[in-house]
Amino acid sequence: MLLNTPPAPTLTPKLIPHSSLPNLSFPPSTFLPKSKPTRTPFLLRAMIEKETPEAHRPDTFLRDYDASSSSSLSVRNRFEKMIRDVQDSVCAAIEAADGGAKFKEDVWSRPGGGGGISRVLQDGSVWEKAGVNVSVVYGVMPPEAYRAATSANGNVKPGPVPFFAAGVSSVLHPKNPFAPTLHFNYRYFETDAPKDAPGAPRQWWFGGGTDLTPAYIFEEDVKHFHTVQKRACDKFDPSFYPRFKKWCDDYFYIKHRNERRGLGGIFFDDLNDYDQEMLLGFSTECANSVVSAYLPIIEKRKDTPFTDQHKAWQQLRRGRYVEFNLVYDRGTTFGLKTGGRIESILVSLPLTARWEYDHAPEEGSEEWKLLDACINPKEWI
Q: Report which listed range, 69-78, 194-203, 363-372, is most confident.
A: 363-372
CB 212 within 8 A of CB 273: no
On whether residue 11 sits in a domain, the answer given is: no
Residue 232 pLDDT > 70 = yes
Which of the four pLDDT bands, split at 50, 70 and 90, describes residue 236?
very high
Report pTM. 0.83
- Which residues are known to be catalytic? 183
On whether residue 9 sits in a domain, the answer given is: no
CATH number of the domain where residue 323 is located: 3.40.1500.10
Which of the four pLDDT bands, split at 50, 70 and 90, describes residue 72?
low
Residue 64 pLDDT > 80 = yes
CB 200 within 8 A of CB 356: no
pLDDT one-digit tens code per residue, 245-304: 999 999 999 999 999 999 999 999 989 999 999 999 999 999 999 999 999 999 999 999
Domain count, the chain: 1
Alpha helices in 47-206 (DSSP H): 64-67, 75-98, 143-149
Residue 22 pLDDT > 50 = no
pLDDT at 281: 98
What is the rounded radius of gyration, in angstroms, for the C-alpha atoms of the chain? 21
On whether residue 288 sits in a domain, the answer given is: yes
Q: Please tell me the least confidently modeled range out of 150-159, 211-220, 331-340.
A: 150-159
CB 4 within 8 A of CB 376: yes
Give the Cβ contact number of residue 213 at 10 Å. Answer: 25
Mean pLDDT across 168-197: 90
CB 191 within 8 A of CB 163: yes
Mean pLDDT across 181-193: 90
CB 241 within 8 A of CB 266: yes
CB 78 within 8 A of CB 186: no
pLDDT > 70 fraction of the chain, expressed in percent and rounded: 78
Range of the domain at 149: 21-375
pLDDT at 156: 53
On whether residue 16 sits in a domain, the answer given is: no
